[in-house]
Amino acid sequence: MDKPTELLSSYAASLTYDELTEDAVHGIKRCLVDSLACALGGFTGEPSRIAIAMARQVSGASPARVFFTNDATSPELAAFANTTMIRYLDCNDIYRAKEGGHPSDTIGAVLAAADSTGASGKRTVLGLAVSYEVFCTLGEMENLGLHSLDHVLNTAIASALGAGSVLGLTPEQMAHALSIALVPNLALRVSRSGHLSMWKGAAAGNAARNGLFAAQLAALGMTGPAEPFHGEKGLGDLLGAPPVLPPLGGRDGDFHANIINMKYFPSDYHAQGHIWAAIELRQQLAATDIAELHAYIHDFGYHEIGEGQAKWDVQGRETADHSLPYLLAASFLDGDMGPAQFTPERIADPAVHDLIAKVSVHNDPELTSLYEKNAVATRLEAVTTGGERVVVEIESPKGHFRNPLTDSELEEKFHRFADGLLPRPTQEAALHELWQLEQAPNLGSALASLQV
């Protein structure tokens, strides 16, 4: 067994609920409220519809529920459908590291494992804490994107260990679950390049499904390669060097759940500050006043949402929420960024594309330096038809862990996406269940309270 496998599997198998700090438990519940808000917003999306339809074709001896429905399916397909709902809007949380990503992509797998086994609220919270720690620590280990790999590889591994915690796997079983999750799931970064497809939102669901499946297999005795990180032809060979695992939270430091960034708007995280800046700018200028609109962004954000013709030639929702020119234009014109800005009609609106044509995106070394210190700063500069320059700067957008959403603001986000699907009294009852999750005997009441 290689060192990363040993450290991760022993941690996941031995961490107890009593080791979680009060802040960590509350942080996990905040992430759960945020993610279920996102799932409500993504419930009617086409990828979600397809995932739910797929789940409805299957039943199981120990079923898990599909969010917001009366449907029960196999745990792994519940993980796929529920994670796809969480992910579709691109409004769920994010952790910034060498390889960033969305630790809440693991929630669907952990909840499916808990629902199918009748696990207690405490055991569920512990499983989520494990999956968050593993996901964030793996992100600090290596930049997968430099090797054309996608961060959902980390989702698969973290889902396996979080679900494994719920299922009560031994350290040896955890090691096999990790290996089975890692070795066959080397997802390619092309999912997030160029014109984006529905798979951009479903890739995480697939990884969560495969992670849970790995844990289920390991529980039944399936073995995986002993050295998936450091062994011959293992991940280290692909990355060019044996990866070294940073310390995990709790015993070696603070838990990661309290330093997670959350999104106010459904878009790529690195555009959050620019959207706020565009909304502020529209208080000073009309669209007809603008001759040029210059967006300055850090290096990672530039390559993620500001580079390539596809970002100016937006043709679908998946590309729109990863296009800084589109996000700037739509938020400036509408004063908001939400589901209404991602309808086919709005995406094709000539007024939006007229403003997109005025947008230039600049890779800014100063902002990159700040980004490397965990700041996500933004600068937006408009040049008017009269030659005046108007600049708006945002240091840390609302939702950044240094400028966090309050619990009340998280509830407002939940209401924003739940309105139209659930009556307010039902929403309030669901929130009460979620905030008290660690006291629940199982997930029954929480999931039942969310049926649409």
Same domain, 222 and 317: no
Domain harbouring 13, CATH code: 1.10.4100.10
In this structure, are 237 and 353 located in the same domain? Answer: no
Q: Please report the pLDDT score of residue 100 as a whole number.
A: 83
Structure tokens at 276: 């706020």
In this structure, is residue 402 part of a structural domain? no
Check whether residue 71 and residue 203 sit in a common domain: yes
Q: Using CA atoms, how far apart are residues 388 and 290, in angstroms rounded to an integer?
A: 10
128 & 222 share domain:
yes
Does 214 reside within a domain? yes
pLDDT for the residue numbered 252: 62
Is the same domain home to 222 and 274? no
Same domain, 222 and 354: no
pLDDT at res. 99:
80
pLDDT in single tens digits along all 452 residues of the chain:
999 999 999 999 999 999 999 999 999 999 999 999 999 999 999 999 999 999 999 998 999 999 999 999 999 999 999 999 999 999 999 998 888 899 999 999 999 999 999 999 999 999 999 999 999 999 999 889 889 999 999 999 999 999 999 999 999 999 999 999 999 999 999 998 888 899 999 999 999 999 999 999 999 999 999 999 999 999 999 999 999 999 898 876 789 998 999 999 999 999 999 999 999 999 999 999 999 999 999 999 999 999 999 999 998 999 999 999 999 999 999 999 999 999 999 999 999 999 999 999 999 999 999 998 888 999 999 999 999 999 999 989 999 999 999 999 999 999 999 999 999 999 999 999 999 999 999 999 999 999 99
Q: Are residues 279 and 135 in the same domain?
A: no
- Give the CATH number, domain containing residue 341: 3.30.1330.120
Residue 183 to residue 128: CA distance in whole angstroms: 23
Q: Is residue 254 part of a domain?
A: yes
Its pTM stands at: 0.95
Residues near 406 by beta carbon (within 8 Å), at least 6 away in sequence: none
Number of domains in the chain: 2
Judging by DSSP bridges, how do beta strands 72-73 and 290-297 pair with one another?
Answer: unpaired
Q: Do 213 and 307 have their domain in common?
A: no
Structural domain for 187, as ranges: 3-264+432-448
Phi-psi region of 221 (alpha: psi -120 to 50; beta: other; left: phi over 0): left
The answer to whether residue 439 is domain-embedded is yes
Q: Is residue 324 part of a domain?
A: yes
Claim to verify: residue 125 and residue 230 sit in the same structural domain = yes
Q: Are residues 216 and 316 in the same domain?
A: no
- Show contacts of 440-444: CB within 8 Å, 24+ apart: 440/120, 440/121, 441/120, 441/121, 442/114, 442/115, 442/118, 442/119, 442/120, 442/121, 443/111, 443/114, 443/115, 443/119, 443/121, 443/124
Pair (241, 355) in one structural domain:
no
User: Residue 5 belongs to what H/E stretch?
Assistant: helix 3-14
Residues 20 and 165 reside in one and the same domain? yes
Number of residues in the chain: 452
Please indicate, yes or no, if residue 54 is contained in any of the structural domains: yes
